[in-house]
């Protein structure tokens, strides 16, 4: 018997949808047009929140990984896996929205800027995480390996960023202007819109994570039943 | 003190076992070596290198060669144990599990350094660049150590998956970007006679990476070979 959707989750669903509609209104109607970058700047209200939420998601995986290795309780591993998958969704959104912005602003879809490069590597780490899990049949081993790789991968990200940053600052010609551009002046309506978008994305993350976690719990139950059936 | 002695003895015993097996069969190091030379040659065709281009890309080509050859060696460290069913034997030994990690790390490093010792002079001749430089040797040591340190951990993981040979590079390459970058930049700096400050920065990164990742590997290695 699958329990029906809990009341809290149903509420979260509705809150997420409402917040999405409100954020669209804020971004396109309330926030003023940015003087330097024009309309393209509006993509920041989704780009930045999805970027930090993706880091939050992968961070949750690290915490869940440590908790699993300590306790051996599989619910932590299911949380870690769910968070990675939701995190990848946000990361892909970040990458795509960034490219959409970069095309009119930098006149190219992609540059080898430290942030972009690190982010692409980060995404590859979590693709590797999913492939690793796919290649292991034993659920216990899968959980242990997933936890370890989730931790190792996340630790490497700041060092990767730092090393690429150093590499690029030696050749500053390409991206000297970059920082001045991102430090745009935020007017109050922009700031409110930005804060609201961030909260919206955090809520969206929790909602998606919860749905994904419930799915994973069902998966685990099916797997367990199948094991019991094959043993009988 | 006595327990430390025993621990070191166990580490060395595992490394010695791998080295002895390699000395008898000579299959791994020779394969890594031939592969490395092939990579060096292929790069020459692929990049159409004239003299100035050769100097610019030498360090990059060198490190790509080392990492590819390293992957070849790492793939076998645990897979060979798994195939012969001798991993269980190792696990039964009454020593700390991390001794297995360090033993494997040592044998991997020896294999990689052997290959590098042969590739370096050949590379010098083929690319017309003198690579005999003690600072460069130091960077190669640090880079190989970092790569092997993470590689040994992930190879243990990859060997236990269904698609193991394919799995290792996918797991390993994105995590070892700082090693690659640090090693290539430091080597390029050394070959171009750059200022010490520019080189030292990259050596610092290599040292930091090596320390952090070997520490993490020791902490989590136990979880990879639990049965």
DSSP assignment string, A166-211: HHHHHSTTTTSSHHHHHSPPPPHHHHHHHHHHHHHHHHHHHHHHHH
Cβ–Cβ of B157/A137 closer than 8 Å? no
Please give the model's pTM, rounded to 2 decimal places: 0.88
User: Residue B66 in contact with residue B114, Cβ under 8 Å?
Assistant: no
Return the structure tokens found at B169.
């590079």
Q: Per residue in B161-196, pLDDT tens?
A: 988 788 999 999 999 999 999 999 999 999 888 888
Return the structure tokens found at A102.
């970069």
Picking from B22, B148, B13, the residue whose alpha carbon sits closest to that of residue B80 is B22
Cβ–Cβ of B162/A151 closer than 8 Å? no
Q: Please check the confidence at residue A185 and state whether its pLDDT lies above 70.
A: no
Judge whether A76 lies within some domain.
Answer: yes
What is the C-alpha to C-alpha distance for residues A194 and A25, in angstroms, rounded to an integer? 12
| pLDDT for A184 | 54
Q: Please check the confidence at residue A181 and state whether its pLDDT lies above 70.
A: no
Picking from B224, B212, B72, B46, the residue whose alpha carbon sits closest to that of residue B145 is B212
Exposed/middle/buried for residue B5 (C-beta within 10 Å: 0-12, 13-18, 19+): exposed
Q: Per residue in B98-122, pLDDT tens?
A: 999 999 999 999 999 999 999 999 9
Q: Per residue in A194-229, pLDDT tens?
A: 889 999 999 999 999 999 999 999 988 998 898 888
Judge whether A144 lies within some domain.
Answer: yes
| pLDDT for A208 | 95
Judge whether A19 lies within some domain.
Answer: no
Higher per-residue pLDDT: A57 or B88: A57
Higher per-residue pLDDT: B201 or A162: B201
**Least confident range of A154-158, A205-209, B1-5, B111-115:** B1-5
Mean pLDDT, rounded, for B189-205? 88
Return the structure tokens found at A99.
């490219």
Scanning the structure block, which residue is given the tokens 């952090």?
A: B212
State the nearest Cα–Cα gap between A224 and chain B, in angstroms.
20
Taking CA–CA distances from A170, the nearest residue in chain B reads B198
**Least confident range of A82-96, A119-133, B16-30:** B16-30
| pLDDT for B1 | 64
According to DSSP, the residues that pair with A34 across neighbouring strands are: A38
According to DSSP, the residues that pair with A38 across neighbouring strands are: A34
Q: Is B161 on the interface with A (CB under 8 A)?
A: yes
What is the C-alpha to C-alpha distance for residues B58 and B50, in angstroms, rounded to an integer? 11
> Predicted ipTM?
0.89
Mean pLDDT, rounded, for A6-31? 89
Distances (CA, A) of B8 to B49, B103, B142, B223: 47, 9, 22, 21
Number of CB atoms found within 10 A of residue B14's CB? 22
Query: What percentage of chain B has pLDDT greater than the value 90?
Result: 54
| pLDDT for A173 | 41
For the ranges A75-79, A221-225, B83-87, the maximum mean pLDDT occurs at A75-79
| pLDDT for A214 | 93
Q: How many helices (H) and strands (E) does chain A have?
A: 7, 0
| pLDDT for B141 | 95
Task: Enumerate residues 6+ apart whose C-beta is below 8 A from A65.
Answer: A76, A77, A80, A146, A147, A148, A150, A151
Q: Please check the confidence at residue A69 and state whether its pLDDT lies above 90.
A: yes
Backbone angles phi, psi at A34, to 5 degrees: -75, 135
Mean pLDDT, rounded, for B87-102? 85
Exposed/middle/buried for residue A6 (C-beta within 10 Å: 0-12, 13-18, 19+): exposed
| pLDDT for B151 | 95
Mean pLDDT, rounded, for A95-117? 84
Residue B122 CA to its chain's centroid (Å): 19
Q: Please list every residue in chain B whose beta carbon sits closer than 8 Å to the beta carbon of residue A136.
A: 160-162
What is the C-alpha to C-alpha distance for residues A85 and A100, in angstroms, rounded to an integer? 23
Task: Enumerate residues 6+ apart whose C-beta is below 8 A from A199.
Answer: A19
Exposed/middle/buried for residue B89 (C-beta within 10 Å: 0-12, 13-18, 19+): exposed
Domain that holds residue A158: 39-224
Domain that holds residue B103: 2-224
List residues in chain A touching B: CB distance below 8 A. Answer: 69, 121-122, 124-125, 128, 131-132, 135-137, 141, 144-145, 147-149, 151-153, 155-156, 159-160, 162-164, 166-167, 170
Judge whether A4 lies within some domain.
Answer: no
Q: Please check the confidence at residue A58 and state whether its pLDDT lies above 90.
A: yes
State the nearest Cα–Cα gap between A173 and chain B, in angstroms.
17
Q: How many structural domains does chain B have?
A: 1
Judge whether A6 lies within some domain.
Answer: no
Q: Please check the confidence at residue A61 and state whether its pLDDT lies above 90.
A: yes
Q: Please check the confidence at residue A111 and state whether its pLDDT lies above 70.
A: yes
User: Residue B64 in contact with residue B176, Cβ under 8 Å?
Assistant: no
Cβ–Cβ of B171/A128 closer than 8 Å? yes
What is the C-alpha to C-alpha distance for residues B179 and A152, in angstroms, rounded to an integer? 14
* Helix, strand or coil, per DSSP, at residue A147: helix
| pLDDT for B3 | 83
Q: Please list every residue in chain A whose beta carbon sits closer than 8 Å to the beta carbon of residue B160.
A: 136, 141, 145
Number of CB atoms found within 10 A of residue B161's CB? 22
| pLDDT for B227 | 64
Q: How many structural domains does chain A have?
A: 1
Inter-axis angle of helices B2-25 and B28-47, nearest 10: 70
Judge whether A157 lies within some domain.
Answer: yes
Mean pLDDT, rounded, for A177-199? 71
Q: Is B225 on the interface with A (CB under 8 A)?
A: no
State the nearest Cα–Cα gap between B38 and chain A, in angstroms.
27
Q: Please check the confidence at residue B56 and state whether its pLDDT lies above 90.
A: no
Task: Enumerate residues 6+ apart whose C-beta is below 8 A from B44.
Answer: B126
Scanning the structure block, which residue is given the tokens 């780009």?
A: A47
């Amino acid at each position: 018997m699958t329990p029906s959707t809990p009341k809290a989750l149903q509420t979260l669903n509705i809150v997420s949808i409402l917040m999405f509609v409100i954020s669209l209104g804020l971004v396109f109607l309330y926030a003023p047009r940015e003087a330097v970058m024009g309309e393209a700047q509006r993509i920041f209200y989704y780009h930045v929140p999805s970027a930090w939420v993706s880091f939050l998601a992968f961070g949750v995986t690290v915490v869940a990984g440590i908790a699993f290795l300590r306790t051996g309780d599989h619910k932590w591993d299911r949380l870690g896996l769910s968070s990675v998958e939701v995190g990848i969704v946000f990361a892909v959104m970040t990458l795509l929205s960034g490219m959409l912005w970069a095309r009119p602003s930098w006149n190219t879809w992609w540059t080898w800027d430290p942030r972009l490069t690190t982010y692409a590597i980060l995404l590859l780490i979590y693709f590797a995480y999913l492939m690793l899990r796919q290649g292991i049949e034993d659920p216990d081993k899968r959980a242990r390996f997933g936890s370890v790789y989730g931790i190792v991968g996340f630790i490497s990200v700041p060092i990767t960023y730092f090393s690429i940053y150093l590499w690029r600052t030696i050749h500053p010609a390409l991206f000297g202007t970059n920082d001045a551009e991102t430090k745009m002046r935020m007017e109050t309506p922009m700031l409110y819109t930005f804060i609201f978008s961030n909260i919206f994305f955090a809520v969206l993350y929790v909602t998606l994570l919860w749905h994904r976690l419930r799915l994973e719990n069902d998966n685990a139950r099916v797997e367990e039943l199948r094991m019991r059936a094959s043993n009988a | 003190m006595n327990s430390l002695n025993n621990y070191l003895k166990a580490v060395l015993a595992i490394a010695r076992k791998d080295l002895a097996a390699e000395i008898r069969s000579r299959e791994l190091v020779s394969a890594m070596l031939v592969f490395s030379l092939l990579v060096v040659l292929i790069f020459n065709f692929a990049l159409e290198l004239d003299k100035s281009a050769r100097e610019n890309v030498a360090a990059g080509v060198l490190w790509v060669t080392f990492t590819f050859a390293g992957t070849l060696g790492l793939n076998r460290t645990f897979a060979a144990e798994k195939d012969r069913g001798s991993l269980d034997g190792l696990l039964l030994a009454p020593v700390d599990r991390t001794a297995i990690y360090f033993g494997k790390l040592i044998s991997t490093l020896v294999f990689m350094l052997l290959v590098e010792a042969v590739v370096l002079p050949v590379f010098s001749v083929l690319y017309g660049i003198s690579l005999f430089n003690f600072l460069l040797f130091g960077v190669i040591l640090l880079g190989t150590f970092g790569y092997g340190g993470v590689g040994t951990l992930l190879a243990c993981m990859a060997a236990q998956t269904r698609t193991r040979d394919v799995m290792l590079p996918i797991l390993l390459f994105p995590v070892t970007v700082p090693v690659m970058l640090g090693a290539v930049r430091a080597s390029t700096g050394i070959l171009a006679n750059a200022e010490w400050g520019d080189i030292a920065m990259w050596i610092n990164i290599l040292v930091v990476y090596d320390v952090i990742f070997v520490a993490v590997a020791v902490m989590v290695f136990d979880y990879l070979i639990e049965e």
